[in-house]
Amino acid sequence: MSDFGHDPWWIILIKVVLVFVICVLLTLFNIWWERRVVARMQHRIGPNVHGPFGLLQSLADGVKLAFKEDITPAKADRVVFVLAPILACVPAFVTFSVIPFGPTVTMFGHRTPLQLTDMPVAVLFVMAIASIGIYGIVLGGWASGSTYSLLGGLRSSAQMISYEVSMGLALVAVFLYAGSLSTSQIVAAQDSWWFGALLLPSFVMYCISMVGETNRAPFDLPEAEGELVGGFHTEYSSLKFALFFLAEYINMATVSALATTLFLGGWHAPFWIDKAWAGANEGYWPLIWFFGKVLFFVWIFIWLRGTLPRLRYDQFMALGWKRLLPCSLAWIVVVAVLRMAAIQGAPIIGQGDPRWWMFGIGLVLTAVVVGFLLSKGERPAEVTEPVGGFPTPPLPDGGLVRGPARPLVFGPPGGVPALPGSATEEAS
């Protein structure tokens, strides 16, 4: 923390511009990479014309989107309709301000950390700023004046609030073990053991929650095309739609960077390369390790989208409230007890390395969480079809409302005229 607050204003300005450029370039690259990876999964080619390997395809699509006609619905609340995409996009950029990209380096003759800023409650700052983005999505759906957009906004608010609870509880174990909420200090606490292995249940529950938090497949229920046309952004076009699109991909990079920082050692070299190479964690080399881990998580997002179908909404909400939430609470109690026992030197846990106890119990709880994911959810109430009538749901008293059987008639309301000499004409 002592390394921050001493930079001249022009160094701070350079860092701000670099964070903005990194977020935009990551978005353009992730869109291209997603299209290429999904195309490979589906035995297609994907974008390969504009630029080398099609890398400029995302830029071309962005320019085309900017020049499209900007339409505002007649029944929309114009002020809120314009403000909603901004509320969704700006917090996505702000959350990157506390992400550590690397150690302290020399930049234009000044010693400065590769991080815009840090604070004692940096992770809580990220959670608070990210929750502001929910307002942009909810207000965008409400201000559009469309029923489908409103339903998409309501779905998104319920989904993001629900999985923010699970995500926050998954991070509590990290705070307990690291003894800090500062992102730079959490990275420093993972110099020997990454929290992704030491706190495996928290890592698994965070990965599930971050997919639900970003509205990505298979949890992209607010944008369910078959039910809601396009979700909360149905009525948006041109640059306002581009801001929603940009916010989604930056949020995907943000949660990936946060997972890298809290669970995969941040900018530390992977696979303990630093043991064989003394300069692996010095200078600008850690930028390679950091962005490599971030792109690994982005690839997981893409892999899930190209593999899994969309969940049913009640199954999705039950996963968050009935399974992830109880497991998170149980794991927090386990981590708190083990940490206190290790600090006070308990007879059993205090012997040897207490981190092996944490790792072993974490494996057991992770198996329970995975078992919950693989188990079948509750089936909806079956609809009984009465003989000779239409299927109707059961009434509270267990009875059925029987409808009269209606024959299938094809043609005009008066029926189809009988052909001369047919059995129908003879019967008439």
Using alpha carbons only, give the angle 187, 303, 224 rounded to the nearest 5 degrees: 110
The answer to whether 218 and 226 are in contact (CB under 8 A) is no
Phi, psi of 303 (to 5 degrees): -60, -45
Considering the chain, what is the average pLDDT of its residues? 82
Report pLDDT for 424: 46
The closest alpha carbon to 260, from 37, 59, 96, belongs to 96
Find the Cα–Cα–Cα–Cα dihedral 204, 207, 209, 211, rounded to 10°: -150
Phi, psi of 356 (to 5 degrees): -70, -35
Q: What is the pLDDT of residues 272-321, one digit of tens each?
A: 787 788 888 888 999 999 999 999 999 999 999 888 888 888 888 888 88
Alpha helix (H) residue ranges in 121-222: 122-143, 147-178, 183-188, 195-198, 200-213
Q: What is the pLDDT of residues 308-331, one digit of tens each?
A: 888 888 888 888 888 888 888 888
What span, in angstroms and rounded, lies between the C-alpha atoms of 166 and 191?
27
The answer to whether 139 and 149 are in contact (CB under 8 A) is no
Report pLDDT for 425: 46
The answer to whether 256 and 214 are in contact (CB under 8 A) is no
DSSP state letter for 411 = S
Q: What is the pLDDT of residues 345-380, one digit of tens each?
A: 665 554 556 677 777 777 887 787 777 666 655 555
Report pLDDT for 23: 92
Q: What is the pLDDT of residues 6-57, one digit of tens each?
A: 888 999 999 999 999 999 999 999 999 999 999 999 899 989 998 898 999 9
What span, in angstroms and rounded, lies between the C-alpha atoms of 428 and 418?
9
Residue 165 is encoded by which pair of tokens? 């609870």
Q: How many CB atoms lie within 10 A of CB 29?
A: 16
Coil/strand/helix, residue 284: coil
Q: What is the pLDDT of residues 79-93, one digit of tens each?
A: 999 999 999 899 989
Report pLDDT for 225: 67
Quote the distance between the C-alpha of residue 287 and its chain's center.
23
The pTM (predicted TM-score) of the whole model is 0.82
Residue 169 is encoded by which pair of tokens? 């509880």
Coil/strand/helix, residue 255: helix
Report pLDDT for 86: 92
Following DSSP, what letter does each residue of 7-62 receive, concatenated?
Answer: --HHHHHHHHHHHHHHHHHHHHHHHHHHHHHHHHHTT---S-SSSGGGTTHHHHHH
261, amino acid identity: T
What span, in angstroms and rounded, lies between the C-alpha atoms of 409 and 411?
6
Q: What is the pLDDT of residues 185-200, one digit of tens each?
A: 999 988 878 898 888 8
